[in-house]
Structure 1
Amino acid sequence: MINTLKLSERLKKVSSFLPEGAYFADIGSDHAYLPCYVCLHDRTAKAIAGEVNEGPFNSAKSTVEAYQLSNRVEVRLGNGLEVLDDITDIRQIVIAGMGGSLIKTILEEGKSKLSNVQRIIAQPNVDERNVRRWLLKEGYIVTNEAIIEENGHRYEIIVADKKGTQNLIDPYTEEQLEKELLFGPILLRNKTAIFYEKWQSEYKKLARVISQMKEASNINSDKMERFEKELSWIREELQDEEQSD
């Protein structure tokens, strides 16, 4: 039974950040594949699969029933964290496969449901910085990150734990903070080939945007200054790769 549920490498990596015996909510669960996968491999895990639309909700219920996991995976219909009631003892939240802005909105609108949540695992498809900034503001610290490539796309996974006794390396300056929000504090310290590939691509895109902005009749000087600063940060990180070759 376990071997019949095939999970993408992206979601397998997401699942690796859930502790043994997790009780987690997967928001926007996409057929409940992730909750079922985790519960098939860990008999002590439990999950809530949240879906906002009727079609995916019914598909998720069918998956859970097919794997005979109805006693451990509950499928709920609702918008974002609305699927969690006030007494739910959820300890981890997974939100994967959405834009960073939407993930931030889901977390912001559902803040009242996070009082017992110790870990948030987010996998934004774009705008990772938005997610990191919200987590920092709301008292979570990034304790792990990963960047993977699958089917021609690069994905970042952000793992954040509620502030406790963890050792947090505070950025020395506002600029250092902004750099860590952009690149990811853990990814910056553990640069991989995929990290460099991503930022080589982002460098070209941003350079192109700046070039187009300079040709415009009305130049937004604040935005131009910010983009040029970010371009210089990316250039610095790419130079690190050249020096290590």
Structure 2
Amino acid sequence: MLQLNQRLTYVSEYIQGDCLADIGSDHAYLPIYALEHHLIRTAIAGEVIQGPYDASIKNVQAYGYDSQIDVRLGDGLSILTDSDHVDTITICGMGGPLIAQILQQGASKLKSHMRLVLQSNVQTETLRRTLEQLDFEIKQELIFKEKGHIYELIVADYQTNSQPLTQQELKFGPILLHHKNPQFIEKWQREVDALEKIKAQLDATKHQQRLEEINAEIEMINEVL
């Protein structure tokens, strides 16, 4: 049986339906694991670079899932077709802006029954804004640490009449705001420390507007902490 790292194990817990599309599949580990644990019936593993694509094909063959996992080479959601009947899309281990860009460019491939399970390592606010624009409502959020890196996991389902997120909810997460675990505190304390360092290097006369922006951001974070 394939052993997943903790961050992908968390992702696997939110997969639903028969068909998974894993974008940026990283050796097809998640689709293989999902099949081994009977979470899905079929999967599509997408890779944008030839090397990881070849590695994914080898892995799928080694585990004997040639007929159930279709490894495809292409950019983002462009690998999907209307005949695929995908139920869950996973995009993991990327920055929030890149995941947001993948969703925006592939918006025509998103269907109302689909679930999105997205794992961001930086700038998740951008991703939340994009989900709101695409009418996907955040149903679950996790924040956790693995190998020194802090990750945020977002689970979103299609919802046209959801309430718009506040500025605080966009920045910190509508669910994470109410579950401030040690990783949440650590992430945002790091952010305050980084902003304080930037602030110390700015000239009060030349950079007045930037200083005001930084002070406002520090104030918002401290208010939440």
Q: TM-score, normalised by structure 2?
A: 0.93
Q: Which residue of 1 aligns with 2:139?
A: 143
SS of the residue 2:83 aligns to: coil
Among 214, 217, 224, the alignment partner of 1:227 is 214
**8 Å CA contact 1:89, 1:116 repeated in 2:** no
Q: Which residue of 1 aligns with 2:36?
A: 40
- Asked if 1:218 is matched to 2:206, the reply is yes
Where does the alignment leave 5 or more consecutive residues of structure 2 unmatched? none
- RMSD, aligned CA: 1.8
- Asked if 1:11 is matched to 2:8, the reply is yes
Q: Which residue of 2 aligns with 1:86?
A: 82
Work out the CA distance in 1 between the residues paired with 2:50 and 2:120. 23
Work out the CA distance in 2 between the residues paired with 1:43 and 1:122. 17
Which aligned pairs between 1:86-125 and structure 2 lie closer than 5 A? Answer: 86-125=82-121
- Asked if 1:24 is matched to 2:46, the reply is no
Work out the CA distance in 2 between the residues paired with 1:132 and 1:54. 30
Work out the CA distance in 2 between the residues paired with 1:139 and 1:229. 29
**8 Å CA contact 2:116, 2:157 repeated in 1:** yes
Work out the CA distance in 2 between the residues paired with 1:44 and 1:156. 24
Paired positions, count: 225
Give the superposition deviation at 1:74: 0.9
**Relative CO higher for 1 or 2, CA cutoff 8 Å, sep ≥ 6?**
2
Query: What residue identity is the alignment partner of 2:216?
Result: K
**8 Å CA contact 2:34, 2:40 repeated in 1:** no
* Identity fraction in percent: 42
Query: What residue identity is the alignment partner of 1:207?
Result: E
Q: Residues 163 and 206 of structure 1: is their aligned pair in 2 closer, same or farther, counting only changes over 3 Å? A: same
Ranges of 4+ aligned residues in structure 1 off by more than 4 Å = 168-171
User: Which deviations, in whole Å up to 9, do the C-alpha atoms of 1:51-71 show, x marking residues without a partner?
Assistant: 011111110011111111122
Among 208, 229, 232, the alignment partner of 2:197 is 208
Query: What residue identity is the alignment partner of 2:148?
Result: G
Query: What residue identity is the alignment partner of 2:185?
Result: Y
User: Which deviations, in whole Å up to 9, do the C-alpha atoms of 1:120-175 show, x marking residues without a partner?
Assistant: 1111121101100000111011110001111111100111110068xx5555xxxx
Work out the CA distance in 2 between the residues paired with 1:220 and 1:8. 45
Where does the alignment leave 5 or more consecutive residues of structure 1 unmatched? 172-176, 239-245
Q: Residues 193 and 106 of structure 1: is their aligned pair in 2 closer, same or farther, counting only changes over 3 Å? A: same
